[in-house]
Structure 1
Amino acid sequence: MTDWKPRKRPRQARSRASFDAILAGCARVLERGGYESLTTNRVAEAAGVGIGTLYDFFPNREAIVVSLGEERLARLAAEVKDGLAGAAGLDAYQALDLLIRRIVRAVAADRALYRVLFREARFLRESPETRRTLETFFELGRAATQRARNRIALPDPSADGWLIGRMLAHAVLEIVWTRGEPSRERLTEALVRLTFRMLLGRDPVGGGINPAGASSRAPSRAVRRPSSP
C-alpha cells in the first residue's frame, strides 16, 4: 500500500519554509506538465531544495501530492469560512451569491492545479488525509444549513445538505474548467439560482437570469409546490 503521509511535519520556521517550498515546487511541476511529469527530482529542483531534504519530509511523490491537496483544500475551506462570516446579515440569495462566487474565484485562481489534482491524481480522493480535509470543508456547509434551517425547505436537511454540498463542489470545478460558452459568469449565476431553488423550494425574487444571460431586474414568480391532498 502506498504511503501517503509525510515522514515528518515541520516544527521550526526553517523546516516549515522547506516543507512549504516543496509543496509550491510540486504545484509548479503539476501545472506545467501534469501528473505524469512529476518526479521527486523535478519537485526538488523547482523547490530549490536538495533531494535529501525532500526525502527527509516525504517518502515519494504521492505523499507530496496528498499534502499539497490537503493544503489547498484547507485554504479553500478557510475561504468558505470567511465567506460564511461575510454573508451574515444578508438575505438568502445575496448570501448564497457571495459564497458561491467566492468559491468559484478561489478555485479559478488555481484551475490548472485543481484539474491535475482531481482528474489525473485520482488516488488523492482515496487518501484518509484528503477525506478528512474534505469532511472539514463539507462540515461548514452542514453547519450553514443547520443555522438556516428555519428558512430552507429541505425535507431531509442532513441527507439533502450532504448531496447539495457535493453537487456544488463538482459544479464549481466544471464551471472553472469550462472554456467558451456558456461563460463562467452565466454558469455561476445559474448555479446560484438553482442552488437557491433547491434550498428554498422557489425561485429568487429578482434573482433569475434571462435567456441571454443578463441579470433580470424583474421579479420572477415563485415556484408553487402542489398542496398535499
Structure 2
Amino acid sequence: MARKRTTFPLHPRKRPTQARAQRTYLAIVQAGARILERRGYEALTTNHVADLAGVGIASLYEYFPNKQSLVAEIVRHVLEEFLADLRANVTLVAASPHEDAMRAWIAAIFAAVHKRRSIVGVIFREVPFLWEIPAVEQARGLLLEVAFASRDLRARAVRTAMVPDATVYLLATMTGAAVLEAVLRPPPQYAPEVLIASLAEIVNRVRGERPDRTAS
C-alpha cells in the first residue's frame, strides 16, 4: 500500500531579507535544531522553539506555518552544512592517487556525517516526512551527479568501459546507507578506518569489473 503523502506545507512562509530579520530567522532555526537533537521530533513544539530562541510565537509563525515546515528548514540547514564539508574536501580527494581517491571520498562523507551524528540520527529515525522534504531530494541528486561525474572521469582516465548508470546509482545509494549505519550504529568490533577501507575496496572492485577490451 502506498504511503500517504503529507498535506501540510514543508517550506517557510517567507525568507528574511533584512539583517535583523535574518538573525531572528536563524535563531529560530538554531533553537529548533537544538531541541530536535536533544529531545527528538515528538517533543519539539513551536512554543518551545520560540522560548529558546527568545522570540515571540508570532515571530515564529511569521516565517513558519507549522512545526513541520520548521523541521524541514532545519533539515535543509543540516544538509547545507554537510554538503559544504564535502565541497571543502573535493580538492583533497582529487589530489589523492587514483587508488586512494574513493577511500578519501568515503572518509570525507563519514567525517561529515559523524560531525553531526546526533541530529542526523534523529532526522533519519524520527522525522516521518523526511523523504518529502525538497532539500533531501536535491542533496541526493547532487551526490548522484558527483558519482556519475566520477564514473565518467575514471572511464576516460584508465580507458575502461562505462559502469552502467544503474550500477552507479546503486553503488552511491548503498555507500550512503552503509556510512549512515556505520556512524549511527557503529559496530564495536570494527574501527571506522577498517570500514572505510573495506567499503572503498568494494566500490572500486565493482567499478573496475568492466574493462574495455577494445582499447589499444
TM-score between both structures, scaled by the size of structure 2: 0.84
For 1:77-116, list aligned pairs within 5 A: 77-116=83-122
Report the equivalent of 1:48.
54
User: Given that residues 47 and 57 in structure 2 are in contact (C-alpha distance below 8 angstroms), is that contact kept between their aligned partners in structure 1?
Assistant: yes
- For 2:168 and 2:44, the matched residues in 1 are separated by 37
Instruction: Note if 1:122 corresponds to 2:132.
Output: no
Choose 129-138 or 27-36, whichever is displaced more.
129-138
| Distance of aligned partners of 1:170 and 1:22 in 2 relative to their CA distance in 1, 3 Å threshold | same
* Residue correspondences, number: 204
Q: How far apart, in 1, do the equivalents of 2:164 and 2:97 lie? A: 20
Aligned partners of 1:77, 1:168: CA distance in 2, in Å? 16
RMSD: 2.3
1:40–1:98: structure 2 CA closer, same or farther, 3 Å change rule?
same
Percent identity of the aligned residues? 33
List aligned pairs for 1:32-181, cutoff 5 A: 32-150=38-156, 151=158, 156-179=163-186, 180-181=188-189
Q: Which moved more, 1:40-49 or 1:100-109?
A: 40-49
2:143 and 2:25 map into 1 onto residues whose CA distance is 23
Give the Cα–Cα distance (whole angstroms) in 1 for the partners of residues 159 and 53 of structure 2.
47
Q: Alpha-carbon deviations, 1:62-117, whole Å to 9, x = none?
A: 11111111222222222223322222232223211221111111111111111111
Q: Structure 1: where are the runs of 5+ without partners? A: 203-224
**1:131 CA drift (Å):** 1.4
Q: TM-score, normalised by structure 1?
A: 0.80
For 2:183 and 2:159, the matched residues in 1 are separated by 27
Does residue 10 of structure 1 match 2:9?
no
Q: 1:189 to 1:107 in 2, by over 3 A?
A: same
For 1:193, which of 182, 187, 201 is the aligned residue? Answer: 201
Change (3 A) 1:18 1:184: same
The one-letter amino acid paired with 1:188 is I
Aligned mates of 2:202, 2:102 — CA distance in 1: 11
Question: Counterpart of 1:23?
Answer: 29
Gaps of 5+ in 2: 1-6
